[in-house]
Amino acid sequence: MLYKNGLLKDARCDKIMDLLNSSAQKDFELAYLNIGNLYSTGECVNRDMHEAVIWWEKASIKNNGQAEFNLAGAYMRGDGVFPGSGMADIYLKKSCSHGYAGACDLLKK
């Protein structure tokens, strides 16, 4: 009944966000990536692609290939960023250079 009413989900989300924010304050790249992912999907927070991009950029500075791939997608769609700036290609290349296979596959096409 608690889960049905959303109370457990809210408690779970509060815990997740607390843990991720604590890790982000310690400069952990996976925290940056996952906070960005939550903002991208709207899970546990209101969907906000501009905020997602900010967090993914922090992970990208730490050479996180998945964050760079996510940024490339955002730039391709113009979702939370200005499209057509050439940044999608830059982030795809960075992502591939950091070993993210999905980016390498897209670059081959």
| Interval 34-60 mean pLDDT | 97
| Interval 17-37 mean pLDDT | 97
pLDDT higher than 90, residue 53? yes
Residue 2 is assigned to a structural domain of this protein: no
pLDDT higher than 50, residue 7? no
Alpha-carbon distance of 47 to 24, in angstroms, equals: 19
pLDDT higher than 60, residue 35? yes
Alpha-carbon distance of 67 to 55, in angstroms, equals: 9
**pLDDT attached to residue 82:** 84
Give this prediction's pTM.
0.88
How many domains does the chain divide into?
1
Cα distance between the two ends of the chain: 49
Cβ pair 103, 65 in contact under 8 A: yes
Domain range for residue 69?
A: 7-108
**pLDDT attached to residue 5:** 45
Residue 1 is assigned to a structural domain of this protein: no
**CATH assignment at residue 12:** 1.25.40.10
**pLDDT attached to residue 10:** 78
**pLDDT attached to residue 63:** 97
The string over 49-66, giving b where at least 16 C-beta atoms fall within 10 Å of a residue's C-beta and e elsewhere, is bebbbebbbbbbeeebbb
Residue 56 is assigned to a structural domain of this protein: yes
Residue 20 is assigned to a structural domain of this protein: yes
Alpha-carbon distance of 84 to 24, in angstroms, equals: 30
Residue 52 is assigned to a structural domain of this protein: yes
